[in-house]
Structures are given as structure tokens and as C-alpha cells.
Amino acid sequence: MAASDGFPASFYGEPGVLGMLSNGISAFLVLLQNFNTAHNGNAPVGVENILAVHLILIGGVCQLVAGLLSFRKYDHLSGTAFIGYSALWASYGATRIYYGALPENPNMTLTTDQMMSNSSTNMMMSNMSLNNSTQCYLCLSMEESAIAGLVPYIILSFLLAFCSATVNYIMPFVFGAITATLIFEAVALAAYSWALIVSGVLELLILIFAIYGSVALLIKGLTQRLALKGFGTPLFNVLLLGTPNSGKAQSGGQEKKKNTKYAEPMALGFFCDSIAPFIFAFYSFGYMKSFGLGVAWVSIISVAQLFSSYYAHLRQDCYHTTKFGLHATYWLIKAWEEFVVSVLIVEDGKVVSGREAMVGDWFFVVAALVLCVGSLNMDVLELIHNLFFVLLTVSTVPQIPLQGYYIFFGVACSLFTAVSIYGTFTRLINTIAEKSLIPVGPQPVSSEQLIRALRCRRSKQGDQDVLPPGDQTSDALFYLSNGVAALSALHSRSMSTNPSLLHLTIPWVLISGAIIQAYVSRLQVTGGGRFGSVISSIYVVVWATWTWFRFANQLQLSTEADYGFTAGAIAFLVINAFLMLIAYRNLVLLFLTTLMEVVLVCFLLSTLNKLPYELEAMLALVSLICIYGTLASLINYMFSQRVMPMGPPLFKEKIKSEISEKHPCPVASSRLTSGLLKIAQLLEEGGVCGIPTDTVYALSASCKNPQAIEKIYNIKDRPAEKPICICISSVEQLVAAKPPFSPLLWEFMRNVYPGGISCIVSKGDWLFKLVGAAYDRVGTRDSIMIRVPDHTVTCHLCDMTGPLAITSANPSGEPDSTHHSMVIRLGHKIQGVLCDGDSNEVVASTVVNCLRIDEIITIVREGCVPAVKVHQIFERL
């Protein structure tokens, strides 16, 4: 399949098998070490911590794969749980690696404690080498850091166990046992060795439950039956948790299309937003003396949050792509900044002098305010979460005196953690129930009010305010990453006289400008733009080179090495000149590339030690452009129209005007009655037309003209053995043909029609009454697939023409058509297109085999309606 969206969900088997086995095996590995430690009384040292590698590979990597596949299976709970637990096991494995890397001398920690009690930190650092001091600090904070990481996982694991009880009664036992295990692992880290035995017993239970659950899921996947108990029946009905609220509590305008091909990643994003600030809170309140191990825990959970941003991108959700990408960037930068402060610099005077010169935090403050604006048309919970993130970014402004800095930061982290934990619970329950059971509050501002408030110009008649089709969900994050890097790179000349400023700045520029922008570049590869990720990929190299140049200056490399950077800067100038030529999409992007040309001139002068201070202001201008680009890209994509101007696309208007009136076939608007009559007439005359449905666009032919159905096979290059289904306007149209369906089949149809489900039923004489001479041209010899779309235009067309033979409007094997412009490309082969803009879905309908419905139904193709939901409807009936 060539579609960039990936494969249908039914291609991914049962990832829960891999996920639960990974949990079970990882728990078994920890069990072995815990029992060994409890039996011998000696903690593992050195090479014995090779166990950590297995924890990372099995518990981390394998479970990550299971989580990613679960998101593609439209499984909200498993996707969130498995990726969350993969971060847990990887972090715990990193902790074991840290233990193995420490000296085996047990007196080292005691000596360090005595030194800390008798003298200040600064005196200790002055008497030890950097390597030894780093090891001492890691010794001091190893247990505290691990406990700080385990505690939030305990809370969230309990929430996962509770939420999984609304789905089945195997996963609650697995997740519940993990919760109890984490509690006793934390107790054991606090020097209570008896807790290792209790933890080992609980880990054995995890293994047993995981094996049973994996076997049950494996048999279910192979036989399509629930042979073993545990899945398919929840411990309690999720609807008992609350009363469904009105639709006002649902998000109003954040998604251009409903995409049920991937599970919702919002719960995972909130999950990650609970772990990182909790660890920072422990550190800020002085529980952790060093952030040497904390940086590993925060970095791993930040990578998990990038996956939530990635799946929001796949769902074409610009807001959450930007939000979770920004949060992951913030946590990564702050984690490595605190690592530099606590492990590499340590001295308070140098920290203060270095931080006071930094201004990158202010960009995060403004970016957080931009997210607040974007969430005004969602729900109150989303707005509150963003407001607390604003508070969090304000608390880390470096100009705050050091005495109050960490107290303020700790309080802000605590509040943000509380809101994030509640957000995790509400998003999980509400997505499982597909209703707003747990209150999230109403929509603060309607979409219309927000558009009117943000619109910078009076709208005109016509289509110029509608965004052209294309994937731009990552544009806002592109501007954000460049804005943070540019503002963080200010005062570069001061770094030669203030090495601590250099050490603190490198994580800011490297993470935002290179690492996160490399992620953005990956998103833009499939974005549909003519030049894809060229601009972002080049800027990844630019910011990475800038970082290396500053670091190389600190190493005092030779003059020849500086000339190497000079040559590189000249090359960047030439390349960026070409980027200015291809930045045709809008004027904001053109301004950004133009300013980056000036910034590269500054870089060139800096390599020659001839940079005047005045030119550094260009970095601030880049940040200002990026802030506006972020806000405009976010708002425009959320509402699928140009609410905020970004300038006209270059070289576009003339091309559009020349082509717009030349179509290879007649086109009609679905909003006009005359347009519908025109397409109906073409169908009556034996033509093949492209029409919208409640899923994707389809090719249609009237069943009154069997020869027209033959044309569809030629147009699509469709193999003759692939049948074509029929489309009717309502179940009543089917009732009139009097098919001999069972009561269960009738009830099932009335529950799924109209909608994105197609039912395969047995053929019979009744079908002659419905399709007449087209009997042999539709379906197979013994069966026929029936569609009743939830689309007013399509149903009205069926009432006008009678049943239609339909199939997806794309050549066989190519992506589905999600916009009428994609159907018009077939215009030389078809007789007309009914234009209706973007399709309601990005995948076709779900096909259900109902031939043996009194015994079982099977999912032939999983499409816009998840297979889980189809089975829930069937089981309820």
C-alpha cells in the first residue's frame, strides 16, 4: 500500500501480546536480582548490572513497539500504557547502568557524606577533580533520584489499572501488580531490604498475569474468538463513572478531519507531563542533591512525549502536535540545564552569572501564551493546563533571584503535576467511553468568536481564505524550535569571558535547534510540500554547527580549525540563499530565511572574531518572526482557513487562475441543488461520477446502467475478482426489497446505519428488486456489500437515482481521495465530479462480514470505525 498514512489498523495483529510479555519478562529480570540481593545481602555492583541492558531492550524497546502498534490499532489505553511503561523500564534500566558505572568502594559515599556535613559544596569541589566530584554527586543522589522517578509512575500506574478495568479484567491485575511492585521497589531504595522480597513476589505475579493475558490475546488474534476469559468483558461499565455531558465539553475546532485510524495521544501527552515536573519538584525542594540521574529519567519520558506529538501529527491535529512537541523540548532543555548546573558547574556564583545573561526562557513564556490562545475553543481543562504551563515557564525565568528560583519552580511543578494527572485520567476515561464522562468543562470561547477576535483583515467573498489541501501540522513546531534556538544564542560573544554561560547555552541551542528540529524535519517529509523538509533539515545542520563552534572555542582549537568553520559558514550562506528562493509558501517563511541569511553572516564574522554586538539583534528578530509564525500557523491550521495573514504564496496566484477554469470533466458544487441535479443526470445517462461520502470520495454508477459499472473497473484498473458494493439512502430502502434477513441482522444494521460501516450479506432474489439488471455486476456470486452513508448529499443523490454502485475514487493500490481535487485528476476517464471539499474521514469504511451473524461477525477491513467499537455493538445486541 502506497499511502503515506500507513496500513489499516487490522494489519497490526495483537500488539498487546508483545506489550504484556515485555512487562512480564522485565519484571522477572528484576525479580532475579532482588531475590539474589535479599539472599546474599550484597547489592549488585559493576558488571552484575548488565541486567540493565535487558531491561532497556525488553521492557523499553519491545514495549515501545507494542505501544506504537497499539496506537495504530486505535487502542487508546494500551498505546498509552505500553509507551508509558516502556519509559519506566528504560529509566529503571538507566538507573541500574548508573549503579554499575559507580566505583565499587562502599566507603566513597560515606566519605562524601562526611565532607558534605563538614564543609560547603564549593570547598569539596575545590579539593577534588571533576571526574571524582561527578561520581560523588551521583552517589549522593542515586537513590533519591530513583525514588523521585518511581513515585509518579506509582500514581499513574494505579490510574492505568483503574482505567483498564473498564475494558477487560486481565490488564487491571497486570497493571495493579506493577503498581504494588513499584511501591516496594521505592521502599527498598529507602534502605529497607525486606521490601525486596515483597517486590520479588509481586514481580512473580506480574509474570503470571502477563503470560496468561498474552496467551489469551494470542488465541483471540488467531481464532477471532474469545477462547480464554479475561478480554471482552470489563470489571465494570465505564458509563458508571459519570453522566455524559453535552457536546459543548468536547473540543470544537482542533482537528480538520476526524481521524479514527490512530488512537488519541492526548492521554499519553498528559501522562508525560505528570512524570517530568514531579521529578523537577523533588529536585527543586532539595530532596535530590544532583540531577545526574534525573536527567536520564526526564529525557526518556520526553522522548515518549514526542511520540504523543507524532501521533497527533498522524491524526492531523496541529494543536497537540505543537503542544506536546513544545513540552518535550522544554523538559529536555531544563533537564540538561540542571544537569550542567548540578554536576558540571556547581558553584553558585558561576551559575548566577551564567543564568542572568540567558533569555531563552522568555521565548517559552510567550510560546505558552500562544498555546493558551489556541486552547480557547477547546475545554476548560485544556486552558487551565496551558495556564499552569505559563506559570511553569515564568518560574524558570533566569532573572529571578537564586534564593527564590527553586522554591517558585518547585511549587509550579507541583501544581502542573496535579493538573496533568487529572488530565491523564479524564482523557483516558473519556476516550475509552467516547463520551465526556469525567468533567473537563465547557468550551471557553466559541470557534466563531475566536476567529473574529484573531482575524487581522476583513474576509472577502470567494475561496481565497480557505487553506489549500496539504499537511502543515508541523509548521508551528518548526517556528518554535528555530525561535528557541535563536533567542538562546544571544550574547554569544560573552561566552568567551563567561564559560558557565557557554555550558548553559549549549543544551538550549542543540536540543531545540538540532534535535527537536530533526524531529520536525521527519514530520515534514510526509507533509505534502514540494520541497518537503529541506529548510528544516538545513537548519538542523546550521544550529548543530553553531553549537560545535562554541564548544570548540572553549577547547581552544587551532586557527586552522576556525578557518574550517569559516568555510562552513560561507557554504551555509550559499545554501540559505537557495532556501530563500524556495520559501514560496508565504511571506513569513521568506522573512525567516532572509533573517537567517543575516544570522549566517554574523556566524561568519564570529568565526573571524569580527562580530559587532549590534548584529546579534538579528537573532531577536528571528525569534519575533518565529512567534508570529507559530501563532498564525497554529490558528490557521486549526480552523482550516487563513485567519491570520502570513502573506500570499509566491508564484501561486497566476498559476491557479490559469488552471482553475480548465477541468478535464464537468464539476458541480454539492452546496447547489443545480449541481446535484447535474450529477444525477450524468449518472442516469450512464456516466461514472466522483461523489463525496461520509468517509472518502467514491466513484459511482447507477445500477440502472450495468455497462457503467463495467467502466469503473477500467477507470480504476481494478481486478475483475474484486467486487463492487452498492450504496442506498436508508435501511427503509432495503426493507422495501424484503430480504430474508434474521432479526439479529436487521437490528445490527439499524445500529450501524447510517455510518462508516459496510455490511456483507447474502445475495438473493430480493436484490433483483433493488438493483435490477446490475445483479451480476455488483458483489460476488453469493454475497453483496451494502453501504448507507451518513452524508446528506450522498443519500439525497441515491433517492434521486436509485441505488448506486460505488468504490473508492482512486486507482487500485493508491491512496484514497480525501479532496475533490484528487478525483478531478481522473477527469479524462470519468464524466463528472461532485465537489464537497475535504472528506470527513481519511480512510474508507469498515467492512463487516455478516454472512454468519447469528454465530459470529468478522472484520474484513478495518477503516474509519474501529473494530473494537463494531464488536461492542454486536456484543450489546
Are 751 and 608 found together in one domain? no
CA distance 335 to 649: 39
Same structural domain for residues 852 and 707?
A: yes
Sorted by sequence, the CB contacts under 8 Å of residue 581 that are 6+ apart come out as none
Residue 856: inside a domain: yes
Domain boundary at 599, 621, 639, which?
A: 639
Cα(150)–Cα(294) distance, rounded to whole angstroms? 11
Residues 748 and 818 in one domain: yes
Measured over the CA atoms of residue 459, residue 464, residue 470 and residue 472, the dihedral's sign is negative
Number of domains in the chain: 4
In the numeric block, the cell 497566476 is attached to 654
Query: How much is the pLDDT for 837?
Result: 85
Q: What are phi and psi of 783, to 5 degrees?
A: -140, 165
pLDDT band at 303 (very low <50, low <70, confident <90, very high): very high
Domain contains 154: yes
Amino acid occupying residue 565: F
**Average pLDDT for residues 295-308, to the nearest whole number?**
95
Residues 6+ apart with CB under 8 A from 873: 748, 751, 752
Report the alpha-carbon distance of residue 809 to residue 698 in Å, rounded. Answer: 4
Rounded CA-CA distance 490/617 in Å is 8
- 180 and 64 in one domain? yes
Say how far apart CA 867 and CA 671 lie, in whole Å.
33
- Tell me: do 583 and 622 sit in the same domain: yes
Is the domain of 180 the same as that of 268? no
749-754: which pairs have CB atoms within 8 A and are 24 or more residues apart?
Answer: 749/788, 751/873, 751/877, 752/848, 752/865, 752/870, 752/873, 753/788, 754/694, 754/730, 754/788, 754/789, 754/790, 754/791, 754/795
Report which of residues 84 and 344 the model is more confident about: 84
Displacement of CA 299 from its chain's centroid (Å): 17
Residue 253 lies in a domain: no
What angle do the packed helices 348-356 and 402-433 form, to 10 degrees?
A: 70
pLDDT exceeding 70 applies to what percent of the chain?
Answer: 80
Give the pLDDT score at 7.
41
Please state, for a pLDDT cut of 90, what percent of the chain lies above it.
37
Is residue 400 domain-resident?
Answer: yes
- Give burial (CB, 10 Å; 0-12/13-18/19+) of 349: exposed
Does 294 reside within a domain? no
Predicted confidence at residue 143, as pLDDT, reads 82
Q: Tens digit of pLDDT for each residue in 29-82? A: 888 888 877 777 766 665 556 677 778 888 889 999 999 999 888 788 999 999
By three-state DSSP, how is residue 834 classified? strand
Please indicate whether residue 762 or residue 552 has the higher confidence score (pLDDT): 762
Look at the alpha carbons of 631, 637, 639, 641 in this order and tell me if their dihedral is positive or negative: positive
Query: For residue 534, is it within any domain?
Result: yes
CA distances from 826 to 337, 650, 818 (A): 55, 28, 14
For 130-174, the pLDDT digits (tens) are 444 444 444 546 788 889 999 999 999 999 999 999 888 889 999
The reply to whether 402 falls in a domain is: yes
Instruction: Tell me: do 709 and 836 sit in the same domain.
Output: yes
Query: Is residue 781 pLDDT above 70, yes or no?
Result: yes
In sequence order, the 6+-apart residues with CB closer than 8 A to the CB of 349 are none
Answer yes or no: do 420 and 496 share one domain. Answer: no
- Strand order of the β-sheet with 858-861 is 667-669, 832-835, 689-691, 698-702, 804-808, 725-727, 783-787, 757-762, 846-849, 858-861
pLDDT-based confidence at residue 701 (cuts at 50, 70, 90) = very high
Average pLDDT over residues 473-486: 92
Residue 98 pLDDT class (50, 70, 90 cuts): confident
Highest mean pLDDT among 163-177, 553-567, 709-723: 163-177
177-191, 232-246, 334-348, 512-526: segment of lowest average pLDDT: 232-246
On average, the pLDDT of the chain sits at 81
- Give the range of the structural domain holding residue 486, as residue numbers without chain letter: 474-639
Q: In this structure, are residues 481 and 517 in contact, taking their beta carbons and an 8 Å threshold?
A: yes
What CATH number corresponds to the domain at position 762? 3.90.870.10
Residue where one domain finishes, among candidates 215, 235, 255 = 235
Domain co-membership, 582 together with 526: yes
Nearest to 646 by CA among 697, 592, 607, 698: 592
| C-beta of residue 501 within 8 angstroms of C-beta of residue 354 | yes
Flag whether 123 is in a domain: no
How far is it, in rounded angstroms, from Cα 614 to Cα 597? 16
List 669's β-bridge partners, or say none: 835
Res. 6 pLDDT band, cuts 50 70 90: very low
Q: Are 672 and 561 contained in the same domain?
A: no
pLDDT of residue 106: 39
Per-residue confidence band for 419, with pLDDT thresholds at 50, 70 and 90: very high
Residue type, 868: V
What distances in angstroms separate CA 215 from CA 170, 173, 204, one per listed residue?
A: 11, 15, 17
Tell me, yes or no, whether 69 and 157 share the same domain: yes
More confident: 417 or 525: 417
Beta-bridge partner residues of 689:
700, 832
pLDDT value, residue 657:
38
Name the pLDDT band for 613 (thresholds 50, 70, 90).
low
* Residue found under cell 477554469: 661
- 787 Rama class: left (phi>0) / alpha (psi -120 to 50) / beta: beta
Asked whether residue 483 carries a pLDDT value surpassing 70, the answer given is: yes
**pLDDT grade, residue 258 (50/70/90)?**
very low
Predicted confidence band of residue 348 (pLDDT cuts 50, 70, 90) = low
Are residue 567 and residue 441 in the same domain, yes or no? Answer: no
> Which residues sit opposite 702 in a β-bridge?
804
More confident residue, 401 or 128: 401
